[in-house]
Amino acid sequence: MKTPKKTVISLYTEEERRRRDTTSWTLVQGVLAPIQFLVFLISLALVIRYLTTGQGYFVATASIVVKTAVLYTIMITGSIWEKVVFGRYLFARAFFWEDVFSMLVLALHTAYLGALWTGFLDAWGQMILALAAYLAYAINATQFVMKLRAARLQEQAIRDAAAATKTDMEFAR
């Protein structure tokens, strides 16, 4: 009895997968993502400390600036990765909505820097803006983690389907 064939739509074509797996930019993203998340957690704790105690404004501010610098770094290198893998710097089919939301994350972090440098918001307002940027970042990071998990599951399904086809062909002999 034959098993029904499932059609699996992959995030990557075979060529895109090959480029993804051979470019050093994949490793760069793999290193920067957890670093950014660690910086985010530390900075989030410092911002919350300032908001709850009124102490540590300078260190909280410095941590937000560092977090923003890491964000810009991962966005620039991620754009290069996307160009190498998909042939465009942003908004590739596979990561379109993640990139759209990344623009909001960048806008909020940049707005924080603008507020800090111009004094447009007081310290409390700056920290609230940073929290908004961090909430957007957390949502965006979740989007990427879910997309990468989906890619792994899809690639496993493709391997399973290929193995089943090979077995079916061998059995048919």
Sign of CA dihedral 39, 42, 46, 51: positive
Question: Does residue 106 sit within a domain?
Answer: yes
Range of the domain at 110: 14-165
The answer to whether position 39 is within a domain reads yes
Torsion of CA 66, 67, 73, 78, to 10 degrees: 170
Full-model pTM: 0.81
* Position with higher pLDDT, 150 vs 52: 52
Tens digit of each residue's pLDDT (9 = 90 or more) over 12-63 = 888 999 999 999 999 999 999 999 999 999 999 999 999 999 999 999 999 9
Q: Compute the distance between CA of residue 139 and CA of residue 102 in angstroms, rounded to an integer.
A: 10
**pLDDT at 169 > cutoff 90:** no
Residue 96, in any domain of the structure = yes
Please report whether residue 135 resides in a domain. yes
How many separate domains does the chain show? 1
The reply to whether 1 falls in a domain is no
pLDDT tens-digit map of 130-143: 999 999 999 999 99
**Alpha-carbon Rg of the chain, whole angstroms?**
21
Question: Is residue 4 domain-resident?
Answer: no
Residue 100 lies in a domain: yes
